């Protein structure tokens, strides 16, 4: 029974990956919107883009980690 609850918890934690997808999409979409308005400034901002993507993505990876811990470590 305890194992079942851990599996349900792992499934709920996996929702976090989807929420991180919203964040990543938001960063990339806004970058593209800005880049199309001012293409000459776009090349200078790719580093900032990747840093933003990395921060948004890290939180999704944390959710994945929580679900892995619930599946195999708890």
Partner 1 sequence: MATESASEGGLVFHPLDQFIVKPLFGDGAVAWYTPTNVTLWLAIAVLATAALFVLGSRGRAIVPTRVQSIGELFYGFIYKMVEDVCGRDGVKYFPYIMTLFVFILFSNYLALIPMSYSPTSMIAVTVVLGFGVFIAVTILGLVKNGTEFLGLFWMSDAPLFLRPVIAVIEVISYFVRPVSLSIRLAGNIAAGHVVLKVFATFAAAAVISPAAIVGIVAIYGLEILVCGIQAYVFTILTCVYLKDALHPAH
Nearer to partner 1, 8 or 58 (CB): 58
Nearest-angstrom CA–CA distance, 72 and 74: 6
Residue 27 has a CB neighbour count (10 Å cut-off) of: 20
The helix-helix angle for 2-37 and 46-72 (nearest 10°) equals: 170
Interface positions with partner 1 (CB under 8 A):
47, 50-51, 53-55, 57-58, 61-62, 64-65, 72
CB of residue 36 vs partner 1: minimum separation in angstroms? Answer: 22
Nearer to partner 1, 34 or 62 (CB): 62
């Amino acid at each position: 029974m305890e194992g079942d609850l851990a599996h349900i918890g792992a499934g709920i934690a996996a929702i976090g990956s989807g929420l991180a997808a919203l964040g990543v999409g938001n960063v990339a979409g806004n970058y593209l919107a800005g880049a199309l308005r001012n293409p000459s400034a776009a090349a200078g901002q790719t580093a900032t883009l990747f840093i933003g993507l990395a921060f948004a993505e890290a939180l999704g990876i944390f959710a994945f980690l929580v679900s892995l811990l619930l599946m195999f470590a708890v």
